[in-house]
């Protein structure tokens, strides 16, 4: 079977480059404009929801050169229904999720009524999560689960001591706090927004720390304070998180909200046996992705997810792209695509 490219045009948010500037405008696309894989095996998905992630903010505003193909449809994740498939793994009507794989960067992304992707980008939607809940989780929440799994793999169990989550009021942070609390960890939430303390406590945080206090210089090794950490910040924050991790602990590093840089010493590694665990959500192998999504359906309390979620129509998403880069977006933002233009 071949995916029909003569289907009716559909709405999309399109990014174009104008000198050094990025323009974002709503328009229409032809199915023939969607990217076909040379190897075949593509799946055409009618997108129901996407979400707003930090990387979408970078792409839409042009604040960092994450877009490497023009024009681009932003949106690094989606949930939707297969409408046509050249892959034996997916049939029309299947509910599917895609995160990463360069969508919104090198492959046309999710802020469009349809997406065409290789079957390898997809995982089946797990039972127990609605489409909207899947994108309330989205790339950020799924990354939070990968961080939790990384800490578990390093032997960080709830009895070892508290777990620090940096950028706790953001997308990755909010979901990480919720999952870790449900799993029985004492969660210390570090946030630059003291006014969101009640929100973080409601997600399950046992203690709130200020962003500045965590990142303040304490030398190569500070007091041992936490058994593990989920760090979304990088930079001085990550350096100080490592310096305050207790003997045998581990830090899952997934982000750069503070900085891409990391100036540290080897002291935490060679004197305290601390592990630094890198977490990437973009190219994760299929089985790891499927396991993470299955666990998200069971280990993330629905009430916490709802408390951490706002929903916007895609036609209203543009102002939020700048806000997420300024750390002004709370929790997760679902972007409704179907009937959202
Ligand atoms: P959000 O913008 O939702 O959250 C980031 C949070 O970081 C902010 O809400 C804020 O939380 C905190 N923050 C902002 N600025 C700083 C700063 N200068 N120093 C310390 N903390 C700061 O983004 P996401 O949660 O979606 O993503 C977080 C990071 O993880 C991003 O860097 C993103 O690129 C990365 N990421 C990486 C993935 C991967 O595959 N490795 C996948 C998904 C995201 P608060 O107000 O509570 O302090």
Residues 191 and 244 in one domain: yes
Say which CATH number the domain at 170 has. 3.40.50.720
pLDDT exceeds cutoff 70 at 8: yes
Cβ atoms within 10 A of the Cβ of 186, count? 16
pLDDT of residue 1: 55
Q: Is 193 in the pocket of ligand 1 (CB under 6 A)?
A: yes
In a domain, 295, yes or no: no
Considering the domain boundaries, does residue 265 fall inside one?
A: yes
* Residue 254 CA to ligand 1 centre (angstroms): 9
Same-domain pairing of 85 and 201: no
Residues 99 and 160 in one domain: no
Ligand 1 neighbourhood includes 309 CB (under 6 angstroms): no
Query: Does ligand 1 have an atom closer than 6 angstroms to the CB of 232?
Result: yes
Do 150 and 273 share a domain, yes or no? yes
> Does a structural domain hold residue 289?
no
Point out the domain boundary residue: 257, 278, 299.
Answer: 278
241 found inside a domain: yes
Count of domains forming the chain: 2
* Ligand 1 atom with minimal separation from the 193 CA: 46
- 164: which strand partners? 188, 229
Express each pLDDT in 116-154 by its tens digit. 999 999 999 999 999 999 999 999 999 999 999 999 999
Same domain, 150 and 253: yes
Query: For ligand 1, what atom is nearest to the CA of residue 168?
Result: 47
- Look at ligand 1, atom 23, and give the residue with the nearest C-alpha: 54
Question: pLDDT of 19-58, one tens digit each?
Answer: 989 999 999 999 999 999 988 889 999 999 999 999 999 9
131 C-alpha to center of ligand 1: Å? 24
Region for 311 from its dihedrals, namely left if φ exceeds 0, alpha if ψ lies in -120 to 50, beta otherwise: beta
131 assigned to some structural domain = no
Q: Does 255 contact ligand 1 (Cβ within 6 A)?
A: yes
Note the pLDDT tens digit of each residue in 68-114: 999 999 999 999 999 999 999 999 999 999 999 999 999 999 999 99
Specify whether 192 is located in the same domain as 80: no
Same domain, yes or no: 175 and 242: yes
250 and 145, same domain (yes or no): yes
Whether 109 is in the pocket of ligand 1, judged by its Cβ within 6 Å, is no
Q: Do 273 and 332 fall into the same domain?
A: no
| pLDDT of residue 183 exceeding 90 | yes
**Closest residue to atom 43 of ligand 1, CA basis:** 140
Which CATH number covers residue 75? 3.90.180.10
35 lines ligand 1 (CB under 6 A): no
Q: Domain check: are 78 and 46 in the same one? A: yes
Q: Is 295 a pocket residue for ligand 1 (Cβ < 6 Å)?
A: no
In ligand 1, the atom with minimum distance to the C-alpha of 55 is 34
Mutate to test the pocket of ligand 1, among 61, 207, 235, 257 (most ligand atoms within 8 A of CB): 257
Would you state the pLDDT for residue 269? Answer: 98
In a domain? residue 206: yes
Decide whether any atom of ligand 1 lies within 6 Å of the 253 Cβ.
no
Domain-located, residue 285 = no
- Same domain? For 190 and 264 the reply is yes
Q: Is 102 in the pocket of ligand 1 (CB under 6 A)?
A: no
Tell how far the Cα of 327 is from the centroid of ligand 1, in angstroms: 7
Residues 257 and 320 in one domain: no
Residue nearest to atom 24 of ligand 1 (CA): 171
Average predicted confidence (pLDDT) for the chain: 96
**Domain around 43:** 10-125+308-336
- If you measure from the C-alpha of residue 30 to the centroid of ligand 1, how many angstroms do you get, rounded to a whole number? 34
pTM: 0.96
Structural domain contains residue 133: no
| Ligand 1: nearest atom to the Cα of 166 | 21
């Amino acid at each position: 079977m071949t995916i029909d490219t003569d289907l009716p045009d559909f709405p999309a948010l399109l990014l174009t480059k104008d000198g050094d500037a990025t323009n974002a405008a709503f328009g229409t696309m032809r199915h023939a404009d969607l990217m076909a894989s040379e190897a075949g095996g593509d799946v055409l998905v009618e997108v129901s929801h996407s979400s707003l992630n930090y990387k979408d903010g970078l792409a839409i505003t042009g604040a960092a050169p994450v877009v490497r193909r023009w024009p681009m449809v932003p949106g690094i994740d989606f949930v939707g229904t297969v409408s046509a498939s050249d892959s034996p793994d997916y049939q029309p009507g299947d509910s599917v999720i895609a995160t990463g794989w360069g969508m919104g960067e090198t492959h046309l992304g999710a802020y469009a009524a349809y997406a065409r992707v290789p079957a390898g980008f997809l995982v089946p939607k797990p039972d127990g999560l609605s489409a909207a809940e899947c994108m309330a989780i989205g790339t950020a929440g799924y990354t939070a689960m990968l961080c939790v799994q990384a800490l578990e793999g390093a032997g960080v169990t709830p009895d070892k001591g508290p777990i620090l989550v940096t950028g706790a009021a953001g997308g990755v942070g909010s979901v990480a706090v919720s999952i870790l609390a449900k799993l029985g960890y004492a969660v210390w939430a570090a946030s630059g927004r003291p006014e969101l303390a009640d929100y973080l406590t409601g997600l399950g945080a046992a203690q709130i720390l200020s962003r500045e206090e965590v990142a303040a210089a304490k030398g190569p090794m500070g007091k041992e304070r936490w058994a593990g950490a989920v760090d979304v910040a990088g930079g001085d924050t990550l350096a100080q998180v490592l310096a305050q991790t207790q003997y045998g602990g581990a830090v899952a590093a997934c982000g750069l909200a503070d900085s891409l840089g990391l100036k540290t010493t080897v002291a935490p590694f060679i004197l305290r046996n601390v592990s630094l665990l890198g977490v990437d959500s973009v190219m994760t192998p299929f089985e790891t992705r499927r396991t993470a999504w299955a666990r998200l359906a069971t280990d993330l309390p629905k009430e916490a997810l709802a408390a951490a979620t706002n929903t916007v129509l895609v036609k209203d998403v543009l102002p939020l792209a700048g806000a997420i880069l300024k750390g002004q977006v709370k929790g997760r933002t679902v972007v409704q695509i179907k009937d959202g233009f």
